Structure 1
Amino acid sequence: MSVLLTLWALLLLGAPGRGARPWEPCTDLRPLDILAEAVSTHSATDAVRTLQAQGVRGLQLASNAPHALSFPASRIFSRCDFFPEEFSIVITLKVPSLLPKKNEYLMTVLSEEQDTLLLGLRYSPTQLHFLFVSEDSAGTWQTRISFRSAALTDSQWHTLVLAVSAGSFSLASDCGPPLDIAADVPFPAALSVRGARFFVGSRKRTKGLFTGLLRQLVLLPGSDASSRVCPCRDAKLAVLSIPPILQGLAGTPEDNEVLRPPYETHMKVTLGSRPPCTKAEDAQFWFDAGRKGLFLCVGRQWVSVLAARERLDYVEEHQSLPTNAETLGVEVFAIPGAGLFVATANRKATSAIYKWTDGKFSSYQDIPTHQAQSWRYFTIGKQTFLAVANFEPNEKGQEFSVIYKWSRTKLRFRPYQRVATHSARDWEAFQMAGEHFLAVANHREGDNHNIDSVIYKWNPRTRLFEANQSIATSGAYDWEFFTVGPYSFLAVANAFNGTSTRLHSHLYVWLLGAFRLFQSFLTFGAADWEVFRIGERVFLAVANSHSYTAETQMQSDSYVINSVIYELNVTAQTFVTFQEIPTCSALDWEFFSVGEDYFLVVANSFDGHTFLVNSIIYRWQGYEGFVAAHSLPTFGCRDWETFSTAAGSYLVYSSAKEPLSRVLRLRTR
């Protein structure tokens, strides 16, 4: 049995190994606003004007600059050179009547070097044509998929969804039933867009220039967008992504015609400094393409009309941070007047603190530890503390975890209090009714995993933490404190009872001066609890790491297991299962937000065969729950932390398999 326990511990703790491959993200499965990208270019300033038709704003292209609304494909395909094999294109447009045999382009992707069309959308009076280049051993040719759409040129607004998947093509109009075409020639699996350029409303020339109004043009990789935009209250104006230049600008319809002066809105579009707001610009709009904000000139001042909504675009590696050894946990914190820091809990004899300097973390202080598992930062009044959970005994065979205090004169952390612990995994610091507490997760004592974990209370008289309550735990891995209204809760992640990881973790509520059992959850090697709120809703996520019993032994598929998100049912006064997410020996959850979007990132550590597995960022999608949005190659990932600076938002993760942590930057748009 002790051999099995050792093997299981090694899988969670890791040993030195080879580094992860560099991550090269492509587009991810997010809407790519082609129209907004095109309008954001320098040359778009005089190429469009905003007109109102039927109470809705749209963009009209100038006839003298067909190449102006364009941008290089590398702007949205920044990490790869291939157009997605499966995708949707969503278009909202108002098309005037066309002469017979006349065609106009909605969008094209052209190879700039050869001036050949790689992909395009054009329409005639009765059809919408999807064009793409095909290639095989016989040569290269252009394929055309044509959909009959008699109502397209009826001078009304329409929203079209073109969905492409292998050899299947479908077109849905105004959330109606799709028209499906099974073509002999499938869309290419690897259509290179290296050196290509997107053109909106043209094929780079005046002939075939789009003469209608365009409100929405969005590319959604990897998915049929119909489910994202339908059903909709106004199907003809179904929305996936509307550029800021058009948002919130609906007006009063005037006989179903494009409004004439003085109702036309002339739009200044710039990427650089703000233009002057003079008498000549009074009542005119200015779109700041750099910040994607809309302003109105009123009384010689630019007044914000529409603030840009910050959205997560993609994640990129910002810094590879060499650490003293494999890292089991990271803690990011800011000390007023001193700066931003990260503490790494390292497996070997020294852990470290790094300080954020010139946009990167640099070495600041080394602290002797004994296979440190995690750090916890907290304050009491004006005092600043940092507690480390030590897993192994010191040189004298004594098991102590240590609380360090920040010296405002030395600008360093100094030992403050030693606390006897047993293979400590985690500290949790919290306050209740003005009093300060620390809870330690004791994992095992010798081979006995069924031991007490302890809650300590700060004594203002002795200025020390003193034992306040003991709670029976089984291989405790993590504590999580949170409040709901007037009630305080403390959740423990029980990971192993000596024979099985299939056991109950518990949630306690503070009543009558002590924590008392509130609810139990069946978990599988629970390694972490994460509490978070979305609006008035309260969620609790558990990271399940491994399904093991003495009977089943260790099986490779026992690491690919669902982790669970629970939601508080206020009426029933209990947490109920909200969503189960497949994970690979999950060891940590981290919740964060970007703008109005909410995310969960999981630390996937092992899939039964390799430690080189992807950790996943999930985006909150309302009734759909959390949906995978970004895949991040990680190597024995153990812990995630998020932080923000004036320069932006970041994620940092620790690796239990190599002496290297990584800082990732969240790129927004």
Structure 2
Amino acid sequence: MTALLLTWTLLLTAGMHSWRPCTDLSPLDLLDQALPGPGQAPPTQVHVVRSRGSAGLRLAGASGTLLSFPASQIFTHCDSFPAEFSLVATLKLPRLKTSQYLFSLVDASSSLLLGLQVSENRLHLLTPVSSTVGPARLRFKDVRLDDNHWHTLVLALTGPHATLTVDCGPPLELKQDCPFPSALRTRGSWFFLGSRGRFRQRFSGLLRQLVLVPGSDATTRMCPADRPGLSDLSVPRILKSSPPEPDLLGADLYRLQSDGGSPPTLLYPPTLLSPPTLLYPPTLLSPPTLLSPPTLLYPPTLLSPPTLLYPPTLLYPPTLLSPPTLLSPPAGTPLVLLMFYQERLDYLEDYQDLYTRSETFDVEVFSVPSEGVFMAAANRDSRSGSGIYQWRDGSFQLFQTISTQEARAWKHFTVQDQVFLVVANFMEAEPELSVIYRWSRRRRRFLRFQTLETHAALDWEAFHIHNHTFLVVANHRRDSNHNIHSVIYRWNPESKMFEVNQTLSTSGAYDWEFFSAGPFHFLAVANTFDGQTTVVSSTVYVWLDGGFQTFQNIPTVGATDWEMFQIEDRVFLAVANSQKVLDRGPSLYSINSTIYELNTLTRTFIRFQDILTHSAVDWEFFTVGEEKFLVVANSHDGSSYSLNSVVYRWKGYEGFVAVHSLPTFGCRDWEHFSTAEGSFLIYSSATSRLSKVFRLHTY
């Protein structure tokens, strides 16, 4: 273990010293660097525009050098570009006919050092082959960004590997023939945003954020997200302080909603060249001073109308010296008040009682392109099989029944554009097999694809590393022996099947959790029982030299689940401890579960917070607006399965604090998901056919 930690330390040290720390490792907002400082007016050729509810900068029409700044402005300690970095961009583009630059880094001789280009269905990263040779082009294909919708992309570069994640979807990975230079000289070079200086190919869409994150993969900072197309890391100050204009070029116009069947009346005609005329209730010639707040139609989640301050803040910078002439909307047309606010969790509604085919150990919520949201239930009874449910008309409806053998868990994953489900079958039979199913577009069903030998399987985890797809199974026991191997499988693109890649020793394995922190990939196993006691260490593995090696052993007590989550740049790992079983004495069910935090100095996970739980079997992390939550599945206290499962809210220095208690019965698993109807939590019961869906109400 000491030798491995030394190897890990040397590896990290080597990574750190492969480039000189010319800047802080915090995110660098490139847009903010190019724009005027606080209190200064923005350039007249840069427009703040609101489209589809969010503001961005329109750079079209600006000179090629308007949004630019010297590289020395951010590389303050030396003149080398970081060898490992991420680029985060949020943009909205109309249909493209030619390629356009999001940004470029150009040296004193106007030669391109680094650039990011977007074209129809493609994203191009132009990277230098070395510090002296010109750029090579990495092409991410089938990336549709020019559809007039907001998209957030994270492009991470680590060694020869480039990974692109769009809207928190499946990552796309490319490998360069040569790694990014470890010392790309930036002396005398300039950043140009939305252009390549005096050259053409200027950016014609809206740009909301453009952030350089030195030294790390920013994907875990951005994902998961409630609004993956508008996941913010660092938005320029000008977008928060300047009144926006309507997006007339994007044909995204605010409208008055009509009660009748006729088309809605446009509030701002697309031919306006001057600031729009403001709309007030009829007959008013100046902004009214209200003695009581008006009754609002929007937003629909408010329990009572908010108190408004008048005169209202204008959405557009007025050029009038006198109060504007006010128009009356057509008769019978209600005025829609546009408000922008941050959601906060108010309460949870008992939304749907879902009776599954038998007791349910696990639920997996996922989506199938062009089909919608689905939920797979791992049901105990082999005779009735397990159910696949589709979200239709605002609730889950049975879609398909699949034959399973005492199913314990489902896992959804993708390989390229194919959608798969794998089930963990627990029944001890000969042979013991778990099954992979593949979605058939033609038959609109999941069909059996491949069987894999498992032993009392309790969980599957799927993950991607360097453009390879892996599956790992938690083998719980073989006959009465809990100290056996769990198996990692790797997708073979030639045979188009999963093949054994590596085996790892486990003790009553119950759950796997894959996650990444910076450029490193980890795999954590929850070991439950070694045949004598549940007081057994669980192991975190790290990916090194093409395989997983032990990184840290963490003491756990009947561990049944790991949940990794990230808050800002802090990485946490929560374990669900289920029960304390020793050779002698009664079992203890009310014990602490623990949250660990990754310490970047010691390069270990250290204890952050203990939370009293009652035979905890699952943690689920989710967000509402800017708020962070954890919900625990309390299943048994030694005498009853009817217990409250608890929702905890992140409160910074105080850690997680209990805010809601939800009555559950034999709670086994929690999943958070979102649909057009809102955000939801679903829990499964291992002692009843009844699973429940809760709706999250916000204010």
TM-score (norm 2): 0.54
Q: Pick the aligned partner of 1:317 from 341, 350, 360.
A: 350
- TM superposition shift of 1:596: 1.0
- TM superposition shift of 1:276: 3.4
- TM superposition shift of 1:561: 0.4
- TM superposition shift of 1:656: 0.3
Q: Could you say which residue in structure 1 is the equivalent of 2:499?
A: 466
- TM superposition shift of 1:464: 0.5
Residue 427 of structure 2 aligns to a residue whose secondary structure is coil
Determine if contact 1:283/1:296 at 8 Å carries over to the other structure: no
Determine if contact 1:583/1:604 at 8 Å carries over to the other structure: yes
Q: Could you say which residue in structure 2 is the equivalent of 1:348?
A: 381
Kindly tell me: are residues 551 and 594 of structure 1, through their superposed partners in 2, closer, same or farther at Cα, counting changes over 3 Å?
Answer: same
User: Is 1:384 matched up with 2:384?
Assistant: no
Counterparts of 2:339 and 2:608, CA distance in 1: 35
Counterparts of 2:369 and 2:286, CA distance in 1: 45
Q: Could you say which residue in structure 1 is the equivalent of 2:541?
A: 508
User: 1:562 is matched by which residue type in structure 2?
Assistant: N
Residue 639 of structure 1 aligns to a residue whose secondary structure is strand
User: Is 1:539 matched up with 2:539?
Assistant: no
User: Is 1:296 matched up with 2:313?
Assistant: yes
Counterparts of 1:520 and 1:616, CA distance in 2: 28
Determine if contact 1:346/1:371 at 8 Å carries over to the other structure: yes
Q: Could you say which residue in structure 1 is the equivalent of 2:637?
A: 607
Kindly provide the CA deviation profile for residues 113-158 of structure 1, in whole angstroms up to 9, marking residues without a partner as x: xxxxxxxxxxxxxxxxxxxxxxxxxxxxxxxxxxxxxxxxxxxxxx
* Residue range with higher mean Cα deviation, 446-455 or 566-575: 566-575
Q: Could you say which residue in structure 1 is the equivalent of 2:649?
A: 619
Q: Could you say which residue in structure 2 is the equivalent of 1:276?
A: 279
User: Is 1:334 matched up with 2:367?
Assistant: yes
Aligned residues: 396
Q: Pick the aligned partner of 2:616 from 572, 586, 609.
A: 586
Residue 342 of structure 2 aligns to a residue whose secondary structure is coil
Determine if contact 2:620/2:671 at 8 Å carries over to the other structure: yes
Kindly provide the CA deviation profile for residues 594-649 of structure 1, in whole angstroms up to 9, marking residues without a partner as x: 11111000000000110001100001111110000000010000000010111110
Residue 280 of structure 1 aligns to a residue whose secondary structure is coil
Determine if contact 1:441/1:478 at 8 Å carries over to the other structure: yes
- TM superposition shift of 1:282: 5.0
Kindly tell me: are residues 304 and 442 of structure 1, through their superposed partners in 2, closer, same or farther at Cα, counting changes over 3 Å?
Answer: same
Determine if contact 1:502/1:523 at 8 Å carries over to the other structure: yes
Determine if contact 2:298/2:336 at 8 Å carries over to the other structure: no
Counterparts of 1:449 and 1:342, CA distance in 2: 31
Kindly provide the CA deviation profile for residues 300-352 of structure 1, in whole angstroms up to 9, marking residues without a partner as x: 79999962221111111110101110000000001110111100000011001
Determine if contact 1:438/1:456 at 8 Å carries over to the other structure: yes
Determine if contact 2:425/2:434 at 8 Å carries over to the other structure: yes
- After superposition, where does 1:425-464 map in structure 2 within 5 Å? 425-464=458-497
User: 1:369 is matched by which residue type in structure 2?
Assistant: T
Kindly tell me: are residues 304 and 567 of structure 1, through their superposed partners in 2, closer, same or farther at Cα, counting changes over 3 Å?
Answer: farther
- After superposition, where does 1:122-137 map in structure 2 within 5 Å? none
The share of aligned pairs that are identical, in percent, is 53
Kindly provide the CA deviation profile for residues 444-482 of structure 1, in whole angstroms up to 9, marking residues without a partner as x: 000000000000000000000100000000000000000
Determine if contact 1:565/1:578 at 8 Å carries over to the other structure: yes
- After superposition, where does 1:556-575 map in structure 2 within 5 Å? 558-575=588-605
Q: Pick the aligned partner of 1:362 from 397, 407, 432.
A: 397
**Rg comparison, structure with higher value:** 1
Kindly tell me: are residues 281 and 627 of structure 1, through their superposed partners in 2, closer, same or farther at Cα, counting changes over 3 Å?
Answer: farther
Q: Could you say which residue in structure 1 is the equivalent of 2:25?
A: none
- TM superposition shift of 1:443: 0.2
Larger % of strand: which? Answer: 1
Residue 285 of structure 2 aligns to a residue whose secondary structure is helix
- TM superposition shift of 1:284: 7.7
Determine if contact 1:425/1:476 at 8 Å carries over to the other structure: yes
- TM superposition shift of 1:514: 0.7
Q: Could you say which residue in structure 2 is the equivalent of 1:653?
A: 683
- TM superposition shift of 1:281: 4.7
User: 1:515 is matched by which residue type in structure 2?
Assistant: F
Kindly provide the CA deviation profile for residues 266-285 of structure 1, in whole angstroms up to 9, marking residues without a partner as x: xxxxx999993378355989
Counterparts of 1:317 and 1:466, CA distance in 2: 43
Kindly provide the CA deviation profile for residues 44-78 of structure 1, in whole angstroms up to 9, marking residues without a partner as x: xxxxxxxxxxxxxxxxxxxxxxxxxxxxxxxxxxx
Q: Could you say which residue in structure 2 is the equivalent of 1:211?
A: none
Unaligned runs of 5+ in 1: 1-247, 250-270
Question: Quick one: higher RCO (CA 8 Å, sep 6+), 1 or 2?
Answer: 1
Counterparts of 2:683 and 2:338, CA distance in 1: 39
What's the RMSD between the two structures over aligned residues? Answer: 2.6
- After superposition, where does 1:391-410 map in structure 2 within 5 Å? 391-393=426-428, 397-410=430-443
Unaligned runs of 5+ in 2: 1-239, 242-256, 260-266, 268-277, 319-325, 328-334
Counterparts of 1:290 and 1:590, CA distance in 2: 31
Counterparts of 2:578 and 2:258, CA distance in 1: 50
Q: Could you say which residue in structure 1 is the equivalent of 2:558?
A: 525
User: 2:670 is matched by which residue type in structure 1?
Assistant: W
Determine if contact 1:480/1:530 at 8 Å carries over to the other structure: yes
Kindly provide the CA deviation profile for residues 506-529 of structure 1, in whole angstroms up to 9, marking residues without a partner as x: 000000011000011110000000
Residue 583 of structure 2 aligns to a residue whose secondary structure is coil
Determine if contact 1:272/1:290 at 8 Å carries over to the other structure: no
Counterparts of 1:585 and 1:519, CA distance in 2: 24
TM-score (norm 1): 0.57
User: 2:399 is matched by which residue type in structure 1?
Assistant: Y
Determine if contact 2:298/2:337 at 8 Å carries over to the other structure: no
Q: Could you say which residue in structure 2 is the equivalent of 1:635?
A: 665
Determine if contact 1:296/1:305 at 8 Å carries over to the other structure: no
